[in-house]
Amino acid sequence: MKASIGWLLFAILIFPGLFFTGVLGLIVGWLDRKVSARVQYRVGPPFSQNFNDFFKLLGKETIIVRNGIHSLFVIAPLVALGSTVLIATLVGITLFQWLGVANDFGDLIVIMYLMMVFSVMVILGGSASGNVYSSLGAGREIKLLLADELAFILVCLVAVIKAGYTFRLDAILATQQAQGMFIASPSGAIAFIVGLLCLQAKMTLPPFHISEAETEIVEGPLMEYSGPLLGFWKLSQAMLWVALPFLLIALFLGGFTVEGYGILWSLLKYVGIVVVMILIKNTNPRIRIDTALHFFWKILTPLAFLATILAVLGV
């Protein structure tokens, strides 16, 4: 079934795009802060804190540094937000089967491409600000991208192979609904674990918050950002808390069911992934960039490769 332009706009702006993902992302951001706080014997912020932060940033002055590339500095967070919205829309349309209207939008190659666009925008925005910490952070972001990208592509490939060599998310989901979740097989389980750690790196969460390292390079690429532009960065980061776990659920956990008790099961999958990520985040110190490269290239990428071979063998 083909969707009209109106439906497309609705999908991108309201559900499951900007509005839905943004609101859910900020709520999950609160969950992150609250769980982290409880782990650390703190009280944690009130429910509305992330919304307050975002709207407050919208009202603040935007300072643009004199010795930078102004256009790039402004465009980077907007493009990053745009690519995040598109990832969320593409994954969401497939996952929710878009309220029955259409579900044939999710193409894995496009999603991987958009995820890379986000990282590239972080790099460009950081380099455009002309700040020494930002450029150092941008350099680290490049290295991190080099580290986690291959492992993540291999992880996606496992799902692709198991679904019968198709890059379409809806086909991957349909295969899982017919044969059970991919995570139940050895190759799927390995790929899921590697994928989870890749997400941690893609979202620059501890222990991979190397490019933002507050106590070293003071938020790195985001250092010179202020006001609404910083707000957009924070919003896209919050939206990644929704889009990327959704992607992982679509690839390995058999997607969502939105009928009856299935809703609870779906919710459990999502919250489970998020809580595991928060716990990883809270039990690890920041690793060095060279350690991260070693970790991804010497451990995770071979593991993902192994999973791919297993998937080809049909295990």
Partner 1 sequence: MTENKIPVGPFHPLLEEAEYFELKVEGEMVVDIDMEIGWMHRGHEFISESKAFTQSIYLVERICGICSTSHPLACVHAIEDIDNIEIPMRARYIRTLIGELERVHSHLLWLGLAGHFIGYDTLWMWAWKYREPVLEMFEAISGNRNHYGMMRVGGVAKDVESEKIPHLLQILDEIDRKMEMIAKAAHDDPVLKSRLKGVGVLKKADAIAYCAVGPTARASGLAIDVRKDEPSDAYDLVDFNIVVLPNGDVYDKLVVRLLEIIESNKIIRQCLEQLKTVPGPILNNVKEITPGEGIGRYEAPRGEVFHYIKSDGTNRPVRHKVRAPSYVNIPTFMASCKGIPVADALITLAAVDPCYCCTERALRVVNAGSEHLDLLALSRAKTEQLRREIYGK
**Residues lying near partner 1 in the complex (CB under 8 A):** 36, 39-42, 132-133, 136, 139-140, 206-207, 209-210, 213-218, 282-291
Closest contact distance (angstroms) between CB of 289 and partner 1 is: 7
Contacting residues for 91 by C-beta, under 8 A, at least 6 apart: 16, 106, 111, 169, 243, 246, 247, 250
Q: What are phi and psi of 107, to 5 degrees?
A: -115, 125
Closest contact distance (angstroms) between CB of 209 and partner 1 is: 6
Between 49 and 284, CB nearer to partner 1: 284
Closest contact distance (angstroms) between CB of 41 and partner 1 is: 5
Closest contact distance (angstroms) between CB of 204 and partner 1 is: 11
Between 112 and 293, CB nearer to partner 1: 293
Residue recorded with tokens 């996606």: 156
Between 199 and 210, CB nearer to partner 1: 210
Closest contact distance (angstroms) between CB of 304 and partner 1 is: 22
Closest contact distance (angstroms) between CB of 80 and partner 1 is: 23
Between 56 and 288, CB nearer to partner 1: 288
Between 16 and 139, CB nearer to partner 1: 139
Cα–Cα dist 196/206, whole Å: 13
Quote the tokens at residue 12.
């991108």
Between 87 and 223, CB nearer to partner 1: 223
Between 251 and 289, CB nearer to partner 1: 289
Residue recorded with tokens 């350690």: 291
Between 123 and 213, CB nearer to partner 1: 213
Query: 258: closest CA among 23, 27, 28, 100?
Result: 100
Closest contact distance (angstroms) between CB of 219 and partner 1 is: 9
Residues 214 and 222 sit within 8 Å (Cβ to Cβ): no
Closest contact distance (angstroms) between CB of 286 and partner 1 is: 3
